[in-house]
Amino acid sequence: MRYLAAMNAQRPIALVTGAARRIGAAIARHLHAAGFDLALHYRNSAADLQALTEELEAARSGSTFALQADLAQFDRLPELVAQTIGRYGRLDALVNNASSFRPTPIGTATPADWDELFAANVRAPFFLAQAAAPHLKAARGAIVNLVDIYAERPLRDHAVYCMAKAALAMATKSLALELAPEVRVNAIAPGAILWAENETADAKKRAMLARTPLARTGTPEEIAEAVRWLLQDASYSTGQILRVDGGRLLEG
């Protein structure tokens, strides 16, 4: 284990949550190509995560570490950080990508809905950041949280999700203040990047794109590059929320 840590001493280490699929997998690939070794968290998508790690290991052996956990289980949060440190000996970046998204129309929302959406979207990122903070301070590292444009402007029938992402936006600013100057903390607010997997309303999609000045959906790779930039290049930025939304909020 000490030998592995020594081998990785010159490469930055990032812990990425929700890394098995979709935007999380794009972030993992992009950071890996930028020279990071990775601790890759997943919850249920074991086959997807295995395929991703095999792909990345083929490019650079010993560069990935898979971590399974349900982020709603509080004791797993510091454990993820501890396992990452045990494997690599350091931590330079935390990317809080894992999220839970589903509608909670007023009149139907339950305390269970609240607990699930806040646990995934706020509690886990905050307590992962708290556990990672000493290690990130030692490395003068950075945190990137994935929020949402709907943290700023509500999405109909998704009040609990929007409130959770708004709380994560404030957590980003609060952590930036508390962890400075050693650790930078920023966030990305994506617009329409990937449609929800159960989204089938083509008219709704067309209407959303009609209100997007760049007139297209974004790509996971564009989000991944924004993550990389905030981690590696945005050396004088902290407490910022970067919209990557094609101008979606300009028109409302």
Nearest alpha carbon to residue 92 among 182, 12, 24 = 12
Helix (H, G, I), strand (E, B) or coil at 14: strand
Q: Which domains does the chain have, with CATH numbers?
A: 2-251 (3.40.50.720)
Question: Phi/psi at 187 (nearest 5 deg)?
Answer: -140, 160
Q: Is the pLDDT of residue 6 over 70?
A: no
Average pLDDT, the chain: 93
pLDDT in tens, 188-214: 999 988 876 665 567 777 888 888 899
Nearest to 194 by CA among 230, 146, 154: 146
pLDDT in tens, 89-99: 999 999 999 99
Q: Which of 3, 88, 161, 236 is catalytic?
A: 161
Q: Are 31 and 20 in contact (CB under 8 A)?
A: no
Region 52-76: mean pLDDT is: 97
- How far apart (Å, rounded) are the C-alpha atoms in residues 39 and 41? 7
- Proportion of the chain above pLDDT 90, given as a percent: 84
| CA-based nearest residue to 220, from 12, 17, 28 | 28
161 is catalytic: yes
Q: What are the residue ranges of helices labelled H in 89-213?
A: 111-118, 124-139, 159-179, 202-210
Task: Tally Cβ neighbours within 10 Å of residue 109.
Answer: 16
